[in-house]
Amino acid sequence: MKDTLIYEGFIGSVHYSAADRVFFGKVEGINDLVTFEGTTVDELEKAFKNMITLHIEDCRREGRPVEKSHKGSFNVRVSPDLHKQAAQKATASGISLNQLVKRALKREIENS
């Protein structure tokens, strides 16, 4: 994702409203709706950090998880041709399609 802020492991999406002349964003990867805004980049960054701090404090006080949980499985939609090619590659490599996808994801993340 481009146009993001990162603080304490949290990612905030960043947008600009020309009509309101304000930067605004939303904290991603959490169960709550946490937004922030500022008229300058410095204000935006400060608001983002403040909202992260408040979110963490609120979650801890209320005994709720700070981040969205990830169960470790998800669906991936690809074209039938890519699915076929991936299945063939996995079979030729002697691994499952799941293992092939895990390797590809890991490689993509490590090379970021």
Kindly give the parts of the chain with pLDDT less than 50. Answer: none
Q: What digits encode the pLDDT tens for the residues 69-98?
A: 888 999 999 999 999 999 999 999 999 999
**Bridge partner residues of 26 (DSSP):** 13, 35
Assess contact for 54 and 32: CB atoms under 8 A.
no
> What's the total number of domains in the chain?
2
pLDDT at position 1 = 52
Could you tell me how many helices (H) and strands (E) the chain has, helices first?
3, 4
Query: What share of residues in the chain are helix, strand, coil (percent, to 5)?
Result: 45, 20, 35
If asked whether residues 9 and 49 sit together in one domain, one would say yes
If asked whether residues 41 and 85 sit together in one domain, one would say no
If asked whether residues 58 and 86 sit together in one domain, one would say no
Q: Give the domain range for residue 14.
A: 4-62
If asked whether residues 47 and 12 sit together in one domain, one would say yes
Assess contact for 89 and 100: CB atoms under 8 A.
yes
If asked whether residues 58 and 87 sit together in one domain, one would say no
If asked whether residues 12 and 58 sit together in one domain, one would say yes
If asked whether residues 58 and 91 sit together in one domain, one would say no
